[in-house]
Amino acid sequence: MTGQKLQNLRRIHALHITRGDKSPAEWANVVRNYLLHGFTMEAIVVYIKMLPRRTRHRFLPLILKACALHSLLMVGKSLHAESIKAGLVYELLRGTTFVTMYGRCHEPTLARKLFDEMPFKNAATYNSMIGNYFMNGDMVSASTLFHSTPERTPVTWVVMIEGYAAIGNISAARHVFNSTPPWMRTVVTWTAMVHGYAAKGDMDAATELFDEMPLKNAFVWSCMITGYFKIGDAVKARAVFDRIFPAPNLVNWNALIAGYAKLGFYDEAFGGLRRMLGLGIDPDEFTVVSLLSVCAQLGSLDCATELHELIRRKRINMNSFVNNGLVDMYAKCGDLEKARRIFDTMRERNDACWNSMISGLASHGSCHEALKLFSEMEASDVKPNSVTFLAVLSACTHGGFVDKGLEIFQKMGKFSLKAGVEHYGCLVDLLGRAGRVAEAYDVVRTMPMKPNELVWGALLGACRVHSDMEMADQVAHKANYADSTFSSVYDEESVLLSNIYAASEKWAKAERIRRRMEERGGTKTPGCSLIQI
């Protein structure tokens, strides 16, 4: 749907250009429609190139909000310079919007400079500047400005409560809440405080305050549901949901479904969707994003196809989150063709989308394609992150591309990324599978952090596959398997080492390790599988 909307708007745009349309009202409609459907960059281009300067001021606040939303600092600065020339920058609405824009772009100093230069300010201007300080971690300046605010509104108190709660200072948030004059304590004020407790995981305090609320809105019910799911209590989350009066709305259903999905209660998540549909409530993009994740975890292609058909049938907005979810779902369900088709048609791809596609290709054996896609990502505007490198190193491991894997591992520094223990584990696995066990051992010895069970397991696995008993002995000595607390924690590696000794007929060593495991109460974790019926 999003792609179709963009095509339609671009056709209208092209029609105006070919007609040589110079009507400010017509171009203003193009800007308005682009903004309405979330196509910010297209709106900005039309605003700058097609709208006469004398008519731009009417749309400046909307364009600035779009710049703030997408952190387009340079565009915002250009519009600021243009507004200074036009003598509009200190007008109350535009000035306040510029203050907000600079704060959202993480430039609180520029925001404060403009704030101080404004000849007239209202409560919204002060609220925006206080919010900017919280957003950028300056609690002292936020508090100072709050106390010097000449006129406080209910929003001013909410901004302070939300600001303190967002940085985890829940006691300061509660102090502000308690100090709020009763006539300014609205349902939003109560909700902000309840949300602060729930986000912190303090559901006892959240429940106590929630029960005291004179009025409740849909959002505060969802806060409570999400809060209980966050601490793993699905029963209480459902109990809160069932209390909603007069009836749950879409926001509440989304909180319930998302909570079940995150806790791995997949039947309950899809059960929620079925109940929604039965009550005549259509899902939106937030609903389906949670369910796309469920299908991906189940690995069920039938489930994936059915959900995708529902998205089409209900004409759900195909935003970047939905598209990313579809790519990840199809990749994990093994339908790489569909995943790639969706990936290739996406207008904007973030790092999560690239990672899903690369990881999907790697995990299903298309290692050459995964490496090729990684090269395309390097050449794009989206830079790889640590997850990307894990996926690519995994592709190199599965494909046996040792030299390429070593080269990619070295590239992490180019993107200012530090290798974690997981990346070193991939490197050890890569070298070990190729029979370069000594090199793998050198990597383990020179790691800047302590090797974990996965690293030792990869190295021991390589020793077993390549029957390198001498190296296995060195690893056992290094990890001090027989006597250290390390071996008492990682029984799987103890089992592996015992099997290596047994395969080499070193029965005494194998028996000693097994006996020590039994003394510690260690057991081999049985394998298990998940199937959908």
Q: What is the pLDDT of residues 342-377, one digit of tens each?
A: 999 987 788 999 999 999 999 898 999 999 999 999
Q: Are the C-beta atoms of residues 130 and 146 closer than 8 Å to each other?
A: yes
What's residue 34's pLDDT?
A: 74
Here the tokens at position 172 are: 């300061």
pLDDT value for 11: 67
Residue 306 and residue 295: Cα distance in Å, rounded?
10
Predicted TM-score (pTM) above 0.95: no
Instruction: Transcribe 247-274 into DSSP letters.
Output: ---HHHHHHHHHHHHHHT-HHHHHHHHH
Report the candidate in 119, 167, 144, 220 with the shortest Cα–Cα distance to residue 129.
144
Burial class (CB in 10 A: 0-12, 13-18, 19+), 227: buried
Over residues 433-446, mean pLDDT:
89
Decide if 392 contacts 362 (C-beta within 8 A).
yes
Residues in the chain: 533
Looking at every residue in the chain, the average pLDDT score rounds to: 85
Q: Give the DSSP letter of residue 50.
A: T
* Token pair of 528 as six digits: 């298990």
Q: What are phi and psi of 183, to 5 degrees?
A: -75, -10
63 vs 149, higher pLDDT: 149
**Which range, 82-96, 349-363, 460-474, is most confident?**
349-363
Tell me what pLDDT residue 463 has: 78
Q: What are phi and psi of 247, to 5 degrees?
A: -160, 150
CA 393 to chain centre: 22
Exposure string for 146-174, b = 16+ CB within 10 A, e = fewer = beebeebebbbbbbbbbbbbbeebbebbb
Give the number of other Cβ atoms within 10 Å of residue 20's Cβ. 6
The per-residue pLDDT for range 17-57, each reduced to its tens digit, is 555 555 666 666 776 777 776 677 777 777 766 666 666 66
Distance of CA 484 to the CA centre of its chain: 39
Whether the Cβ atoms of residue 28 and residue 58 lie closer than 8 Å to each other: yes
**Helices and strands per DSSP (H, E), number in the chain:** 33, 0
Judged against a pLDDT cut of 80, whether residue 2 lies above it is answered with no
**pLDDT at 447 > cutoff 80:** yes
d(CA 530, CA 297): 10
Conformation bin of residue 316: beta by default, left when phi > 0, alpha when psi is -120 to 50: beta
Max mean pLDDT range (91-95, 343-347, 392-396) = 392-396
Question: What span, in angstroms and rounded, lies between the C-alpha atoms of 39 and 299?
Answer: 33
Of 300, 370, 369, residue with least CA distance to 532: 300
- Read off the tokens for 47: 């605003």
| 481 pLDDT tier (thresholds 50, 70, 90) | very low
How far is CA 197 from its chain centroid?
22
**Cα Rg of the chain, angstroms:** 29
Q: Could you read off the pLDDT of 178-201 as tens digits, one per residue?
A: 999 999 999 999 999 999 999 999
135 close to 103: Cβ distance less than 8 angstroms: yes
> Do residues 389 and 408 make contact, with C-beta atoms less than 8 angstroms apart?
yes
Rounded to an integer, the average pLDDT of 93-106 is 91
Report the SS3 class of residue 365: coil
Give the closest residue to 175 by CA, choosing from 187, 156, 161, 155: 161
Kindly tell me if the per-residue pLDDT of 77 is higher than 80.
yes
Kindly state the DSSP code that residue 182 receives in the 8-state scheme: G
pLDDT confidence tier of residue 451, bands split at 50, 70 and 90 = confident
Residue 395 to residue 389: CA distance in whole angstroms: 10
Which residue, 384, 385, 468, 398, is CA-closest to 426?
398
Q: pLDDT tens for residues 254-283? A: 999 999 999 999 999 999 999 999 999 999
* pLDDT on residue 485: 40
**Does the pLDDT value for residue 435 go beyond 70?**
yes
Give me the torsion for CA of 11, 15, 18, 22, rounded to 10°. Answer: -130
Instruction: Give me the helix-helix angle, 123-135 and 92-104, nearest 10°.
Output: 10
Q: What confidence score (pLDDT) does residue 367 get?
A: 93
Q: Is 349 helix (H, G, I), strand (E, B) or coil?
A: coil
185: helix, strand or coil: coil
CA 85 to chain centre: 40
Residues 482-524 have pLDDT tens digits of 344 444 434 555 555 555 555 554 555 555 555 655 555 555 5
C-alpha pair distances (Å), 188 with each of 44, 125, 205, 246, 400? 33, 19, 17, 19, 57
Question: Looking at this protein, which amino acid is placed at residue 195?
Answer: H
Q: What was the pLDDT predicted at 523?
A: 53
A 10 A CB-CB count for 244 gives: 18
Contact between residue 469 and residue 437 where contact means Cβ atoms under 8 Å apart = no
HEC per residue, 398-419: HHCCHHHHHHHHHHHHHHCCCC
Look at residue 60 in the predicted model and tell me its pLDDT. Answer: 76
Count CB-CB contacts under 10 A for residue 363: 18
Which pLDDT belongs to residue 67? Answer: 82
**Cβ atoms 361, 391 nearer than 8 A:** no
